[in-house]
A = this chain, B = another copy of it.
């Protein structure tokens, strides 16, 4: 029977029941691999429920540093009888299935193309530990021990991690280590270890992995730190998965880093609002009054915020919104990932609006872009929305370490203080003095007689006086368009890389791929796969809306551009067509919207099929051919 082989290159998946403490054991497993210097990307796939339902943890190990999902499972660890049938079925032929053999495996779960390893986890723990909670918790550690044997995990790394985790609690450390060893020895004693898939420290990692120091963290924590470093002082939110941990983390860091050393008082405020309308209302009120304020939410919250987002756009109030996207529409699948709020965010609210969006792809970018978002929102005096998602926000990602330039100066934008107000000749809140669509604002309480004005969501003239004149209205909204143009100068540019050399290209079309956020990693991987197959594809990673001019150029200089994203309707593609005036036929959607992150294999398959289909050949006229 075939055996899947591979050093530092495979997918392990755990099938657990939620609420049984498996998360920390699974994390231990992933982090140990990470500490061995081997690229790893773990993903939690959990139900919208608190206890008792199936939950999975998928760990991809990839020497090349591919952090997106690959697709398929090489080794399954199943300790959940509820899902076992599905779990058995999902293993790749030649793969491995580790299960709790306390009960014998049901005959219908036997496949003859995969390898079974039964370990009586429950029995072992019942024998070993007196209380049921401990039995449940340590069972998870036992299977990690077994995996250490199966995959050759450095045992000292595991111990080191337990030491870090339970610092000072010796009893806990030793019971955990004991559980690890129990699993390890059982596996060693009963099976041939290690398996043909296994780990090797400092093995064959790609240069970009070997050369850079990495951290392992989730995007929500990174965004929270970005808000801390970016100087946010007011956070208002309403709990909603998967954005909840953004403000949780912000609060925790702020409690450590934002306490006034003299008085012990807080240099920040966190308000758990009564709903999302209130959450963004608080942030807007705070932004109006001169602090950096933000809120974090997910789909349903974004919908609820749309009236307020229209106000902030039209009344030009700085506010940052972190949208950690999940599967929509409506309640959808709250614990599954998607990139499906693009249009809802870009055009949030009735009337003519355009909102500034940022698309981070790594925790490092969650950090940088959140911090930047505060500069941007104050510079542009318009909401800035960070478009993260569950996959990025709640899973641990390898990421370059966070960096901070201590010379950073906050860009508070065009705010006049008392002295400037005294000096300025003629001030009007909406006078476009600089021609960039951005006007000078003032804060309440600044000056005894100058600079007071009325902020409103209704139409006004340049002097901020209420006006229903059509001319005033048009002047104002045209200026807002001008400002949106200006925004292009400030938002992060898209990223391109040198093309991958392809020896015998199978096509003479100039191909490109556009993607963003969590679609990026698997897209890069798919492009490499396709390059090997003879399809050279240039890439551009979108990092912000409004789009930079170089994106138009990219599209125009390619015959066919794949837009890779995780929603049903190809929302980013639509936004591009809308805003860049691109012939739609040029842009081909590559979509995944099942709720679990898109895989490199799927991307490659769709692109390959498109290129091989007659349609593509018929419809696309190469730019560089002679026919036109």
- Of B48, B349, B569, the residue contacting A303 (CB under 8 A) is B349
Cα A347 to Cα B473 in complex, Å, equals 26
Q: Does A310 contact B314, Cβ atoms closer than 8 Å? A: no
Interface membership of A97, Cβ < 8 A: no
* B residues less than 8 Å from A189 (CB atoms): none
- Of B303, B336, B593, B596, the residue contacting A307 (CB under 8 A) is B303
- Of B329, B349, B458, B596, the residue contacting A352 (CB under 8 A) is B329
* B residues less than 8 Å from A354 (CB atoms): 569
Interface membership of A338, Cβ < 8 A: yes
Interface membership of A582, Cβ < 8 A: yes
* B residues less than 8 Å from A340 (CB atoms): 350-352
Cα A594 to Cα B478 in complex, Å, equals 11
Separation in Å of the A560 CB from the closest CB of chain B? Answer: 14
Residues 578 to 614 of chain A near chain B (Cβ within 8 Å) = 578, 581-585, 593-596
Q: Does B593 contact A331, Cβ atoms closer than 8 Å? A: no
* B residues less than 8 Å from A47 (CB atoms): 468
Q: A304-B307, A474-B594 are in contact. Are A329 and B344 (CB under 8 A)?
A: no
- Of B327, B351, B468, the residue contacting A299 (CB under 8 A) is B351
* B residues less than 8 Å from A578 (CB atoms): 574, 577-578
Interface membership of A328, Cβ < 8 A: yes
Max chain B CB contacts within 10 Å: which of A306, A468, A628?
A: A468
Interface membership of A420, Cβ < 8 A: no
Interface membership of A332, Cβ < 8 A: yes
Q: Does B458 contact A594, Cβ atoms closer than 8 Å? A: no
Cα A341 to Cα B248 in complex, Å, equals 36
Q: Does B352 contact A571, Cβ atoms closer than 8 Å? A: yes
Q: Does A328 contact B344, Cβ atoms closer than 8 Å? A: no
Cα A513 to Cα B313 in complex, Å, equals 32
| Interface size class, chain A | 35 or more
Interface membership of A536, Cβ < 8 A: no
Residues 460 to 501 of chain A near chain B (Cβ within 8 Å) = 468, 470-471, 473-474, 477-478, 481
* B residues less than 8 Å from A421 (CB atoms): none
* B residues less than 8 Å from A332 (CB atoms): 314, 351, 457-459
Copies in the complex: 2
Interface membership of A37, Cβ < 8 A: no
Residues 230 to 289 of chain A near chain B (Cβ within 8 Å) = none
Q: Does B335 contact A351, Cβ atoms closer than 8 Å? A: no
* B residues less than 8 Å from A595 (CB atoms): 459, 468, 470, 473
Q: A299-B351, A302-B350 are in contact. Are A471 and B330 (CB under 8 A)?
A: no
Cα A457 to Cα B344 in complex, Å, equals 18
Residues 504 to 527 of chain A near chain B (Cβ within 8 Å) = none
Q: Does B583 contact A327, Cβ atoms closer than 8 Å? A: no
* B residues less than 8 Å from A457 (CB atoms): 329-332
In the complex, which residue of chain B has the Cβ closest to the Cβ of A569? B352
Q: A306-B303, A340-B351 are in contact. Are A593 and B329 (CB under 8 A)?
A: no
* B residues less than 8 Å from A481 (CB atoms): 568
Cα A303 to Cα B311 in complex, Å, equals 11
* B residues less than 8 Å from A568 (CB atoms): 352, 477-478, 481
Q: A347-B343, A352-B340, A581-B585 are in contact. Are A477 and B593 (CB under 8 A)?
A: yes
Interface membership of A20, Cβ < 8 A: no
**9 closest A-B pairs by CB:** A328-B351, A329-B351, A470-B594, A330-B457, A299-B350, A303-B307, A352-B568, A310-B329, A331-B458
Interface residues of A (CB under 8 A from B): 47-48, 299-300, 302-304, 306-307, 310-311, 313-315, 327-336, 338, 340-341, 343-344, 347, 349-354, 456-459, 468, 470-471, 473-474, 477-478, 481, 567-569, 571, 574, 577-578, 581-585, 593-596, 628
